Amino acid sequence: MSSPYIKSAAVATALAALDEGRAPERSVLREAVRALLTILADRAPGRSVEVRVPPYGVVQCMPGPRHTRGTPPNTVEMDPETWLGLATGRLDWTQAITEGRVRASGVRADLSAYLPLELG
């Protein structure tokens, strides 16, 4: 199956491992998470929502009021596998929220308009 994510070796390797029922190597998973978070921040510039994928990365994105101190009012947090699924279109935003795989708080904490990401 051809995928636009093949241009990112880490993303392709992490997805292949998950498809085979294996956990991706930590370094590969970290690189894949960070690559996809960077794309999100580039596609949705701003600082009104903080997207957290512990322990590998965090970005601020989306237009709106800028947050500068403490815990932002608009946060989205999930595990690395959930982020890979959402970012690549293998998992639907609504399904992830309903299943409790994503913790989102704040009026701007809906990433569905930006997902899945497409690698250029």
Confidence bin at 65 (pLDDT 50/70/90)? confident
Q: What is the mean pLDDT of the chain?
A: 90
> 11-48 b/e with 16+ CB inside 10 Å = b?
bbbbbebbeeeeebeeebbbbbbbbbbebbbeebeebb
pLDDT at res. 12: 93
First to last CA, the chain: 18
Please check the confidence at residue 76 and state whether its pLDDT lies above 90: yes
For residue 11, give the amino acid letter: V
Q: Extract the runs of DSSP E, i.e. beta strands, from 2-88.
A: 49-53, 57-61, 75-78
Confidence bin at 2 (pLDDT 50/70/90)? very low
pLDDT in tens, 5-47: 546 899 999 999 999 999 999 999 999 999 999 999 999 999 8
Please check the confidence at residue 72 and state whether its pLDDT lies above 80: no
Q: What is the CB neighbour count within 10 angstroms for residue 103?
A: 12
Can you tell me the distance from the alpha carbon of 3 to that of 119, in angstroms, rounded to the nearest whole number? Answer: 9
Can you tell me the distance from the alpha carbon of 46 to that of 61, in angstroms, rounded to the nearest whole number? Answer: 4
Confidence bin at 1 (pLDDT 50/70/90)? very low
Confidence bin at 74 (pLDDT 50/70/90)? very high
Is 0.85 topped by the overall pTM? yes
